[in-house]
Amino acid sequence: MSVWPRLMDPALMSLLLPAAIATEAAPAAIGPDAFKAGMRRLAGGVAIVATEHQGVRQGLLVSAVTSVSSEPPTLLISLNRTASCRGPVLDSGRFTVNLLGRADRATAELFGDPRRRAQRFATRRWAPLLTGAPALEGCLATLDCRVQAALEMHSHSLVFGNVVEVMAWTDTIDPLLYWNGDYGTADRRDRPRPGLAEAPEGDAR
């Protein structure tokens, strides 16, 4: 049984969201292949979501991590309902988001290969943070989260995490990226960065 109050199935969502946005899904105007082809043009960071439930560590590779709010610190991950890690995340009520860098590509490929699931936590050092969920030592950063809520949407569960600890393992920021079905890195910048740029409107980063 989950240790947190489950939100939200579509019926509940229709009661909680404004009528303007809580609508039935319209018939798809495009097929899944066209949608995937478009989304492959969007470069995204790569992360490992990890948890521990009943003494067993579970983890999977994701690119769907989104900041939601900085007050309180909250993020969102998207987990396929068939993912082996989904149940343990929801049942334990805790997870880490481990942001990967260029040097972590082999670890990304390991966690992305279901045939090597048993080896996922054997090749690197992992340490528990505040929630007890495992954190990957040496990655760019780890965000330790308690499950706050979840929304079931089509094939995926959208899981909201309250961030209770952040561990920056390195001063070097060289992220591993994923787009068009392959990994890459941010080798070029369009302009000098004397300071941090403003985050896009609506983005908590």
pLDDT of 51 reads 97
Which residues are bridge partners to 49 per DSSP? 60, 97
Residues 57-95 pLDDT 10s: 999 999 889 999 999 999 999 999 999 899 999 999 999
Say if residue 177 is exposed, middle or buried (CB neighbours under 10 Å; 0-12, 13-18, 19+).
middle
What is the DSSP secondary-structure string of the chain?
--SS-----HHHHHHHS-TTT--PPPPPSS-HHHHHHHHTTS-EE-EEEEEEETTEEEEEEES-EEEEEETTEEEEEEEETT-TTHHHHHHHTEEEEEE-BGGGHHHHHHHT-GGGGGGTTTSS-EEE-TTS-EEETTSSEEEEEEEEEEEEETTEEEEEEEEEEEEE--S---BEEEETTEEEE----SS--SSPPPPPTT---
Q: If phi over 0 gives left and psi between -120 and 50 gives alpha, with beta otherwise, what is residue 117? A: alpha
Q: Percent of the chain having pLDDT more than 70?
A: 76
pLDDT of 124 reads 95
pLDDT of 199 reads 47
pLDDT of 128 reads 96
pLDDT of 126 reads 97
Q: Is the pTM of this model over 0.85?
A: no
In the CATH scheme, what architecture does the domain 44-177 have?
Answer: Roll (2.30)
Residues 114-125: what's their mean pLDDT? 93
pLDDT of 193 reads 52
Whether the bond into 194 is cis, omega within 30 of 0: no
For the record, the structure tokens of 35 come out as 């949608």
Q: What's the chain's length in residues?
A: 205
Residues 158-205 pLDDT 10s: 999 999 999 999 988 899 998 777 788 877 544 445 554 444 445 555
φ/ψ (deg, to 5) at 127: -135, 140
Residues 97-112 pLDDT 10s: 999 999 999 999 999 9
HSE (side-chain half, CA atoms, 13 Å) at 151: 15
Residues 11-49 pLDDT 10s: 444 444 444 445 555 666 888 888 778 877 667 889 999
